[in-house]
A and B are shown apart, each in its own frame.
Chain A
């Protein structure tokens, strides 16, 4: 397998090798030696792997030929957009900070972090590399394995800036930290490699919104990697609205690592991009840890979204609850692959996975694949997937209560989204996303009213 991969022409990949050489030669020179080593190794790995093809099992349903075939360049650093154009792209909730990253680079002018509680650091990763080198050396690029992930390798090779969030031991607060990764596409196709590191220390509690959006439509590619560490007894809710432009490509990997009795709730909400691929790799690395992966994808036109998740139960007594719902209209295409590994000794694992797809047209398609790998005997693992059109029994039930067929259908469609959003703990964040989902679907009954 590896040998045949090596023989495959990597013409498209060579473009990025050349880019890397230019990148390493100038602006990236300020990085500490350990990071330079990591970057060089990642670039070498990317050059080996090349772009994946649909002959590879992990990419069977998702072709990235359109990414490989487009000459993306690193964006030139220009003056940022006006603040008033950026403000509406944040979720309208009171936040501990609002940080903006334009094409992957932190924008101090557009960011505000006045409300940060003591013990919370949130800002530019590039700045943190200078100020907190030891902390970053311990975590950055240590969790996101890229040996089998060319996009993760490419992001790591171009690692320069992004978001850094650190919540010190025992610090708890409710107001979310908002991170907005903003693309400002230009005349030529550009690629950004935003990198985020979120560390929640022992017993700390925080909420982070990691948003992806664009100022306007255009051909661009976001290639993001986020590493999340929740230490023993820590608690993190991570909400991830992806609202890229309709022509955009969005490829991302989220790696999470949890300590003993920690709680992590991740909510990927896919509303944008022509082609989106999100890999989530979650390691439950301390007994008693709890993970919720709770995602939603709404796909119309010819939009395509692929979620590949790996939940690794490495220690006993952990729980994972995974729920992904998809609404597929027109010729939308949803892919879900959920792998659950229960390591030897991870007894009393409690794992639940569901993937429900509402397929609203003949041209729409959903693929769902559970993969269970269980190496312990005292475990509870359940999974279930459904796909299909709206249930006519339910339509009649709603009509018998006075709703028109159109109202019934839009209410039921909205329900696929509302079921996921109902698991968000922060009520105002939930309401804000509810409005976005309402806007993306045909609004039922009346808009903006939630009970």
Chain B
């Protein structure tokens, strides 16, 4: 589904990614871990198409196509979803209005009929159950005045509505208390299907207690320096990232 080869990217002239290689297949969950400043969030932003980042070298294939050649909105309509580390508020636009606009943009792209408000509300009611939320936020503006945890839950609701093929969760666990983490991680786990894939970008292992990854990668100084199974996350938790740096240097 996703094949990243020798990806280099920089922001404001500073190189952050220095040759990332990663292959993600349908049905898989990958965790990308690493210390602060290792380039985890940059990788997530580059995959979503953030214009501030410049890809200087390498390729990214997604569903057989050149992902880097696609605009951010085309990536989204083709099923790439980034759950933001810091979701932004949109003045005056309600969650319900925004979600329907986003869903209809994707449906139109795929040649499906757009949903009218009533059809959409039915669908939304189902998706709210996935994130164990009620509709109290739906008529409130997008991310406006929400706590950190509510924003993260809102990102996962968007993911549930848009049903991406490839979901990238950027530090979705940060700032969540243990109950919110359980809810959010549980929702992500419920959204797993054989035909979609999830990439979890995280500093900490704890979200992986709720979503079992098939592969764990360690990103350090812009490169993946170590890959393994789910046990690697536990090892990192107990030994810290310095251990990886030492291993990688050998």
A residues lining the B interface (CB < 8 Å): 325, 356, 391-394, 396-405, 407, 411-412, 414-420, 422, 444-446, 449-451
Taking a contact as CB atoms closer than 8 A, the residue among B93, B117, B138 that contacts A414 in the complex is B93
Q: Which one of A356, A392, A404 has the greatest number of beta carbons of chain B within 10 Å? A: A404
A220 to chain B, nearest CB (A): 33
Q: A397-B90, A399-B72, A449-B116 are in contact. List 4 more A-B contacts (CB 8 A).
A: A398-B90, A401-B102, A415-B92, A444-B101
Contacts of A414 in B (CB 8 A): 92-93
Is B93 in contact with A402, judged by CB distance below 8 angstroms? no
Is B84 in contact with A397, judged by CB distance below 8 angstroms? yes
Contacts of B91 in A (CB 8 A): 356, 412, 415-416, 419
Does residue B94 face the partner (Cβ distance < 8 Å to A)?
A: yes
Taking a contact as CB atoms closer than 8 A, the residue among A403, A419, A422 that contacts B101 in the complex is A403
Taking a contact as CB atoms closer than 8 A, the residue among B93, B105, B158 that contacts A418 in the complex is B93
Roughly how many angstroms separate A401 CA and B158 CA in the complex, as a whole number?
A: 9
Taking a contact as CB atoms closer than 8 A, the residue among A391, A407, A449, A451 that contacts B105 in the complex is A407
- CB-based nearest A residue for B93: A415
Mask of B34-64 contacts with A, CB within 8 angstroms, 1/0 = 0000000000000011110000000000000
Q: Do most interface residues of chain A lie in helix, strand or loop, or is the interface mixed?
A: helix
Question: What are 6 of the A-B contact pairs (CB < 8 Å)?
Answer: A396-B72, A400-B75, A412-B93, A414-B93, A444-B101, A451-B139
Contacts of A444 in B (CB 8 A): 101
Chain B residues bordering chain A, tally (CB within 8 A): 41
Does residue B73 face the partner (Cβ distance < 8 Å to A)?
A: yes
- CB-based nearest B residue for A408: B73
Roughly how many angstroms separate A418 CA and B77 CA in the complex, as a whole number?
A: 26
Closest 7 CB pairs of A and B: A419-B92, A415-B92, A418-B92, A402-B76, A402-B105, A401-B102, A399-B72
Contacts of B97 in A (CB 8 A): 418, 450-451
Contacts of A398 in B (CB 8 A): 90, 98, 102
Is B82 in contact with A449, judged by CB distance below 8 angstroms? no
Does residue B27 face the partner (Cβ distance < 8 Å to A)?
A: no
Q: Which one of B48, B51, B101, B109 has the greatest number of beta carbons of chain A within 10 Å? A: B101
Does residue B220 face the partner (Cβ distance < 8 Å to A)?
A: no
- CB-based nearest A residue for B48: A400
Contacts of B88 in A (CB 8 A): 391, 393-394, 397
Is A397 in contact with B87, judged by CB distance below 8 angstroms? yes
Is B92 in contact with A396, judged by CB distance below 8 angstroms? no
Roughly how many angstroms separate A325 CA and B114 CA in the complex, as a whole number?
A: 31
Does residue B201 face the partner (Cβ distance < 8 Å to A)?
A: no
Contacts of A401 in B (CB 8 A): 76, 98, 102, 105, 158, 162
- CB-based nearest B residue for A417: B92
Is A400 in contact with B90, judged by CB distance below 8 angstroms? no
Q: Which one of B91, B96, B102 has the greatest number of beta carbons of chain A within 10 Å? A: B91
A451 to chain B, nearest CB (A): 4
Is A400 in contact with B101, judged by CB distance below 8 angstroms? no
Total A-B pairs in contact (CB under 8 Å)? 103
Contacts of A407 in B (CB 8 A): 101, 105
Mask of B142-161 contacts with A, CB within 8 angstroms, 1/0 = 00000000000000001000
Taking a contact as CB atoms closer than 8 A, the residue among A394, A404, A420, A422 that contacts B90 in the complex is A394
Roughly how many angstroms separate A414 CA and B76 CA in the complex, as a whole number?
A: 22
Q: Which one of B75, B77, B98, B138 has the greatest number of beta carbons of chain A within 10 Å? A: B98
Does residue B100 face the partner (Cβ distance < 8 Å to A)?
A: yes
Contacts of B9 in A (CB 8 A): none
Is B71 in contact with A399, judged by CB distance below 8 angstroms? yes
Roughly how many angstroms separate A325 CA and B92 CA in the complex, as a whole number?
A: 11
Taking a contact as CB atoms closer than 8 A, the residue among A356, A392, A411, A419 that contacts B98 in the complex is A411
Contacts of A397 in B (CB 8 A): 84, 87-88, 90
Is B71 in contact with A402, judged by CB distance below 8 angstroms? no
Is A451 in contact with B90, judged by CB distance below 8 angstroms? no
B3-20: which residues lie under 8 A (CB-CB) from chain A? none
Does residue B29 face the partner (Cβ distance < 8 Å to A)?
A: no
- Given known pairs A396-B51, A407-B101, A411-B101, the reply for A416 and B72 (CB within 8 Å) is no
Roughly how many angstroms separate A449 CA and B49 CA in the complex, as a whole number?
A: 30
- Given known pairs A397-B87, A407-B101, A451-B100, the reply for A402 and B106 (CB within 8 Å) is yes
Is A402 in contact with B77, judged by CB distance below 8 angstroms? yes
Is B141 in contact with A419, judged by CB distance below 8 angstroms? yes
Roughly how many angstroms separate A398 CA and B89 CA in the complex, as a whole number?
A: 10
Does residue B104 face the partner (Cβ distance < 8 Å to A)?
A: yes
Roughly how many angstroms separate A401 CA and B76 CA in the complex, as a whole number?
A: 6
Contacts of A420 in B (CB 8 A): 92
- CB-based nearest A residue for B138: A451
Is A400 in contact with B82, judged by CB distance below 8 angstroms? yes
Is A402 in contact with B109, judged by CB distance below 8 angstroms? yes
- CB-based nearest A residue for B91: A415
Contacts of B89 in A (CB 8 A): 394
Roughly how many angstroms separate A362 CA and B64 CA in the complex, as a whole number?
A: 43
- Given known pairs A400-B48, A400-B82, A451-B139, the reply for A411 and B93 (CB within 8 Å) is yes
- CB-based nearest A residue for B50: A396
Contacts of B120 in A (CB 8 A): 451
A435 to chain B, nearest CB (A): 15
Is A400 in contact with B49, judged by CB distance below 8 angstroms? yes
B164 to chain A, nearest CB (A): 10
Contacts of A415 in B (CB 8 A): 90-93, 141
- CB-based nearest A residue for B103: A402
Mask of B122-140 contacts with A, CB within 8 angstroms, 1/0 = 0000000000000000110
A13 to chain B, nearest CB (A): 42
A270 to chain B, nearest CB (A): 17
- CB-based nearest B residue for A398: B90
- CB-based nearest A residue for B71: A399
Roughly how many angstroms separate A37 CA and B104 CA in the complex, as a whole number?
A: 64
Contacts of A417 in B (CB 8 A): 92
Contacts of B75 in A (CB 8 A): 400
Roughly how many angstroms separate A400 CA and B73 CA in the complex, as a whole number?
A: 5
Contacts of A392 in B (CB 8 A): 51
- CB-based nearest A residue for B104: A445
Is A400 in contact with B92, judged by CB distance below 8 angstroms? no
Is A451 in contact with B76, judged by CB distance below 8 angstroms? no
B82 to chain A, nearest CB (A): 6
- CB-based nearest A residue for B78: A402
- CB-based nearest A residue for B80: A400
